[in-house]
Each structure stands twice: as C-alpha cells, then as structure tokens.
Amino acid sequence: MPQVPSTRWCPTPEQLMILEEMYRSGVRTPNASQIQQITSHLSFYGKIEGKNVFYWFQNHKARDRQKLRRRLSRQQVQVASASLPPHPPPQFFPHLYQPHNPQFFHQGGGFQEPRQGLDLLRKLETCSSRDEASPSGTSPASIYGCEWAAMIREPNSGESSMCCHSLKTLELFPTKSTGLKEESSTSKSSCSASTN
C-alpha cells in the first residue's frame, strides 16, 4: 500500500459536478448541517469529508471573488488612468450572492447567509448617522465625547485645509509608493465588500 496514500482530497467528476451545480444555484457558505448533508450525498461518489466540502466552497467563493475583483480592478485602472481622481473610489464588487434558492435546504426561509460580513463597511463610517439607538459604549457615538471628536465634528475646517500635508512627523514618511501586489489599489486594503 502506498505510503503516502493521499495527502489531500481529490474530487471525482461527479462530486465536482454536483458541487459546481450547487454553487451555481447559489450555495456559498453552507452551514454545518448543509455540509453534513452534502457530504453524505457526495460520499456516494467517493471518499469525502465534511471539511473537504467546507474548503471547496470557501476556495471556490474566494477564487470567484478574486477573479471578479481582478477584472474590475483592471477596468478601474483604465478608468482611473484616464481621469486620475484625487481619491480613487474604492471599487466594490457587487456580485454573486445567493438569491436564496428555495431549492436547497429549506432553512430559515431560504436564507443562508443572513448577515455575511458584507455590509460590514457600512458601519464604521456611518456611525454618526446611527448614533441614536446606541445602548452604551459600543457604538462609535460613545467616543464622540473624546477630544478628537471635536475635530471631526468640523469637516469644513479640516477639509478646506486638507491640502497641506507638510507636517514634521509626517515628513518622516516618504511617500514611497511600494509596489503593491496585484489588484492594483485594492490589494491590502481589502475593500472587501460583497453584496447580499
């Protein structure tokens, strides 16, 4: 018997076919129960574990996003180079997100990812607009009492003079434009957004 039987799962064509079909149907992040069932089902076509299903969806989703992002990024670069905006608007990718397929696992009315961390970006910057219902210290509104809050309360005073960036402390940081990876301007900053 082979000493190194198999270090990793290798999906059979049937398994792959089914997984892709599910993905096309909108499955993105199956929960434990779903993974369990999928695994059971796919095990009919070959050895498979729950983690394989989990990883598959994770990777497939990620690489799908990656593909899209790269595509958009390229477009963005073209547009940006043509206009060269002062601040490149973070390009998000409003893309795939499961249209709650009723085909798969009637749970919770078809929703699978009720609150995927997609609209996560919404919160930080909008803190001022949702400060009302803040129970206590958790909301950003609570820190508005800090000294720095006074500063940001006056966007005008700041923005009008936002142009001068010659500061003693900041001088120390040469604006060396380090080569970012790919994805152009959205590499590390990971303006990860996804739409629900």
Q: Which of residues 69-108 bind its own copies (CB under 8 A)?
A: 86-90, 92, 94, 103-108
Backbone angles phi and psi of 96, in degrees to 5:
-35, 125
- Using CB under 7 A, which residues numbered 68 to 127 contact DNA? 69, 93, 96, 103, 113-125
Q: Rounded to whole angstroms, what are the CA distances from 95 to 70, 72, 99?
A: 13, 11, 11
| Of positions 82, 99, 145, 159, contacts its own copies by CB under 8 A | 159
Select 70 or 192, whichever has its Cβ closest to its own copies. 192
Residue type, 162: M
As a whole number of angstroms, the distance between CA 14 and CA 25 comes to: 16
DSSP tag of 163: T
| Of positions 65, 77, 100, 192, contacts its own copies by CB under 8 A | 192
The reply to whether 9 sits near DNA by the rule CB under 7 A is yes
DSSP states of 100-161 as a string? --TTS---GGG-S-TT-TTTTHHHHHTGGGG-TT--STTSGGGGGGSHHHHHHT-HHHHHHT
Residue type, 165: H
The site for its own copies, by CB under 8 A, has a size of: 128
What is the nearest approach in angstroms of DNA to the Cβ of residue 7?
Answer: 4
As a whole number of angstroms, the distance between CA 20 and CA 36 comes to: 17
Lookup: tokens for 96: 């795939």
Chosen from DNA, its own copies, none, partner binding at 137 (C-beta under 5 to 8 Å by type): DNA
Chosen from its own copies, DNA, none, partner binding at 61 (C-beta under 5 to 8 Å by type): DNA
The reply to whether 44 sits near its own copies by the rule CB under 8 A is yes
Chosen from its own copies, DNA, none, partner binding at 107 (C-beta under 5 to 8 Å by type): its own copies
Chosen from its own copies, DNA, none, partner binding at 93 (C-beta under 5 to 8 Å by type): DNA
The set of residues, in sequence order, having a beta carbon less than 8 Å from that of 134 and lying 6+ positions away, is 141, 142
The reply to whether 66 sits near its own copies by the rule CB under 8 A is no
The site for DNA (CB under 7 A) is made up of: 4, 6-11, 16, 28-29, 31, 51-52, 55-56, 58-63, 65-67, 69, 93, 96, 103, 113-125, 137-140, 181, 183, 187-192, 194-195
